[in-house]
Copies of this chain bind each other. A is one copy, B any other.
Amino acid sequence: MSDNYHHGDLQNALLHAVGEIIEEKGVGAVSLREAARRAGVSHSAPAHHFGDKIGMLTAFARKGFEEFGQRMQAAADSADEVDAKFRAIGVEYIRFAVERRPYFEVMFRSEMHDSADPDFKCVSKDSFGVLMSVVESMSAEELNGADPMHAAMSAWALVHGLATLWLDGTLSQFTDEDLFTLVQGVFEADIKV
């Protein structure tokens, strides 16, 4: 498996390179040719494996969603009380966005992947399922009488909004340690609207 063929495991090498490129120069700098260069192959080797640029990024997003789903599930399992689970998922969502920014950016930007890809749809749906199953196990009292779907969307939108505002630099006034204090504060704000 190490070098049993021309390269060995080019697909993973290319996806690793994609992550590096995003980390160093942002999502806009991703290119098939640069990924190929970093993996030490010819400029059109990536297209052979992934079809085209979107295909490569979709594979990258899929890999991200697999890790993401596992982390969401682990967060849900880390607590016993349902509201603690709920909170843990929210914190882990933000943590993933900050720690694994390259993944997060490709996973949640429509023009960066092909959302019609069957595998992509599958792993992304699974991740949302973790949140939904937690919300569905909440009592009517814990939900304040809200529809579970609305409650899930509300929580998702809240953490997703925080994550994207943070990544887009709109919250650049805060350091990333402040971010989690902010998250805690936002979670506790619990304002009526």
The answer to whether B165 touches A156, judged by C-beta atoms less than 8 angstroms apart, is yes
Instruction: Establish whether residues B158 and A189, one from each chain, have CB atoms under 8 Å apart when the complex forms.
Output: no
CA of A26 to CA of B110 in the docked complex: distance in angstroms? 10
Residues of B near A27 (CB, < 8 A) are: 111
Within 8 A of B (CB), among A143-193: 143-144, 146-147, 149-151, 153-162, 164-165, 167-172, 182, 185-193
| Number of A residues with CB within 8 Å of any CB on chain B | 49
Contact in complex: B90, A188 (CB < 8 Å)? no
> Contacts A160-B161, A164-B160: A108 and B170 contacting too (C-beta < 8 A)?
yes
Q: Residue A191 contacts which of B154, B159, B165, B168 (CB distance < 8 angstroms)?
A: B154
Q: Name 9 A/B residue pairs within 8 A (Cβ), A-sorted.
A: A83-B193, A142-B191, A143-B191, A144-B191, A147-B185, A153-B185, A156-B161, A157-B186, A188-B193
Task: Point out residues on A near B: beta carbons under 8 Å.
Answer: 26-28, 83, 86-87, 90, 108-111, 115, 124, 142-144, 146-147, 149-151, 153-162, 164-165, 167-172, 182, 185-193
